[in-house]
Amino acid sequence: MKTLKHIFDRNAQWAANIEKNDPGFFDTLSKQQAPEYLWIGCSDSRVPANQIVDLPPGEVFVHRNIANLVVHTDLNCLSVIQYAVDVLKVRHIIVCGHYGCGGIRAALEKPEHGLIDNWLRHIRDVVRFNEDRLSGLNPEQQADVLCELNVIEQVANVCNTTVVQKAWENGSVLSVHGWIYNIGNGILKDLDTTITCPDDIIRC
């Protein structure tokens, strides 16, 4: 199958439905994007950013990778953050993890997954930083708690980027949030780790 026609059919139907409910929607949106949110989430197919917060195209700038990591030297993620903060002027950066994350589970196993084990090293660092919190838990609890701890760690990483530090220095109003999504019931939870200024970073 060279063309995946069923996908194009769905796309045409989707665009027609939106245009029917909101005539001129795409024309207006094509002239500018002004999203208030940058979403940094997992690539997992069960965690589609716009859909789970029920926001239409144009509302969320999105970066996704395996296990929603913000790696200090990842130019891809850093460029997304810079564009979102400096050009789009988003007000909120959301790091959203999810329970049942395959990346987190794999990081708790022996490293035998090939290339991806190099990426998962960053999660193993989070394990090492939090050995006290994780010891004594059964494997299922460990995975759930690590999903949360990983989000908290990535929130700190976002806050420590030069881009976010500079934005705060320049007086920009910018909050960084840590959320977790339950793929079992579709519900989001705020991990109460929101950072709004450099002084807050110490808390996490």
- Interface residues toward Co ion, by CB under 5 A: 42, 44, 101
Nearer to Co ion, 35 or 41 (CB): 41
Residue 95 backbone class (left: φ over 0; alpha: ψ -120 to 50; beta: rest): beta
Annotated active-site residue 44? The verdict is: yes
To Co ion, the closest distance from the beta carbon of 24 in angstroms equals 37
Residue 67, beta-bridge partner list: none
One of 10, 46, 124, 203 is an active-site residue; which one? 46
d(CA 49, CA 43): 10
Annotated active-site residue 147? The verdict is: no
To Co ion, the closest distance from the beta carbon of 148 in angstroms equals 13
Nearer to Co ion, 44 or 153 (CB): 44
Nearer to Co ion, 90 or 106 (CB): 106
One of 63, 77, 92, 98 is an active-site residue; which one? 98
To Co ion, the closest distance from the beta carbon of 68 in angstroms equals 7
Residue 176, beta-bridge partner list: 93, 195
Those residues whose C-beta lies under 8 Å from the C-beta of residue 175, and which sit 6 or more positions away, are: 91, 92, 93, 194, 195, 196
d(CA 124, CA 165): 26
C-alpha closest to that of 158 among 112, 108, 67, 95: 95
To Co ion, the closest distance from the beta carbon of 53 in angstroms equals 17
Nearer to Co ion, 150 or 193 (CB): 150
Q: Supply the residues annotated as catalytic.
A: 42, 44, 46, 98, 101
